[in-house]
Amino acid sequence: MKARTISRHFRESFKSLARNGWMTFASVSAVTVTLLLVGVFTALMLNMNKAADDIENDVEMNVYVELEADEQAVASLEQEIEQLSGVESIEYSTKEEELSGLIDSFGEEMALFEQNNPLRDKFVVKALDPRQTERLASQIGTLENTHSVEYGEGKIDRLFSILEVSRNVGAVLIFGLLFTAMFLISNTIKITIVARRTEIEIMKLVGASNWFVRIPFILEGIWLGIIGSTLPIAAVSFLYYNVYEYMQPRLEDSFIQILEFSPFIYQINALILLMGVVIGVWGSFMSVRKFLRV
């Protein structure tokens, strides 16, 4: 394609946007509203997934040691646990350290037990895959000098089920919203093109190829997508910045964190821009196709 032809297509696409002002405004408005909804909801769902991952990764087992186990038996048990497949980390805590933690949490009343400490030494074990916690707990429970293993049996399975459902529901809602956005924008662009069907028919009658007719409309779709994504990008950036500034200090000591403002905001803005362009091109391409037969 010659440079002159390409230049002509670009000029025509810009002229068409200006010439069909109200239709351009309607298309840009549809793109803006739908991309704003998609952007906000996507940011929300990605942070919910991040929180779900944080919850999963915080799952750990408390492995309590038999009271009669000596230092050598404890060291042997630690080695056996470390050698199990799927263990990410293991941390040893003596019963004195456990009691000290209770005193810090509940006050000096717990110091009454210092002379006759009823607690047990324990190992805190985390699995590489949190969903393997139950299997590992079962294996550790059979090892010599293991008194008991606690990890929230039953509750963990329900937690994983809830997290999985939330992820699946979020994915379905995002795809549904994207489909709705493409449908609305396609119909809006289709109205624009229907109003210009005479122009398309004339171009075809004088011998213009299908692609010669399509390209200005596809370029228009690109411009509509870019213009329509500008406000959603600004709005999502502003909203997420304020949410991040409000939430981050309050979650500083929590195991649940929201996604860092940077690079997350640049990634979601790039996604919004890409969706705007793709939706604009797809809507223009599909809408002009039916008018290419004269």
pLDDT of residue 76: 92
Q: Quote the pLDDT of residue 110.
A: 65
The mean pLDDT of 267-283, rounded to a whole number, is 87
117-141: average pLDDT: 88
Q: What is the mean pLDDT of the chain?
A: 81
Q: What pLDDT sits at residue 77?
A: 92
Q: Can you spell out the DSSP letters for the chain?
A: --HHHHHHHHHHHHHHHHHTHHHHHHHHHHHHHHHHHHHHHHHHHHHHHHHHHHHHHT--EEEEEPTT--HHHHHHHHHHHHTSTTEEEEEEE-HHHHHHHHHHHH-GGGGGGSTT-----EEEEEESSGGGHHHHHHHHHTSTTEEEEES-TTHHHHHHHHHHHHHHHHHHHHHHHHHHHHHHHHHHHHHHHHTTHHHHHHHHHTT--HHHHHHHHHHHHHHHHHHHHHHHHHHHHHHHHHHHHHHHHHTTTSS--PPPHHHHHHHHHHHHHHHHHHHHHHHHHHHHHTTS--
Q: What is the pLDDT of residue 185?
A: 63
This prediction has a pTM of 0.69
pLDDT reading at 203 higher than 90: no
- For residue 103, the model assigns a pLDDT of 78
Q: What is the phi-psi region of residue 143: left when phi exceeds 0, alpha when psi lies from -120 to 50, beta otherwise? A: beta
pLDDT band at residue 2 using 50, 70 and 90 as cut-offs: low
Give me the pLDDT at residue 232, please: 92
Read off the pLDDT band of 114 (50, 70, 90): low
Its CATH class, for the domain covering 60-151, is: alpha beta
Average pLDDT over residues 154-182: 75
pLDDT (mean) for 118-132: 88
pLDDT band at 238 (very low <50, low <70, confident <90, very high): very high
Q: Is a pLDDT exceeding 60 seen at residue 294?
A: no
State percent of the chain over pLDDT 90.
21
Q: Which of 4-8, 185-189, 284-288 has the lowest mean pLDDT?
A: 185-189
Confidence label for 3 from pLDDT (cuts 50, 70 and 90): low
What is residue 106's predicted lDDT score, i.e. its pLDDT?
74
Q: Where are the domains of the chain?
A: 3-56+157-292, 60-151
Band the pLDDT of 81: cuts 50, 70, 90.
very high
Position 248 scores a pLDDT of: 86
- Is 12's pLDDT higher than 60? yes
- Local confidence band at 90 (pLDDT 50, 70, 90 cut-offs): very high
* 4 vs 130: which has the higher pLDDT: 130
- 55: confidence class by pLDDT, cuts 50, 70, 90: confident
> Which is higher by pLDDT, 255 or 145?
145
Highest mean pLDDT among 8-12, 83-87, 213-217: 83-87
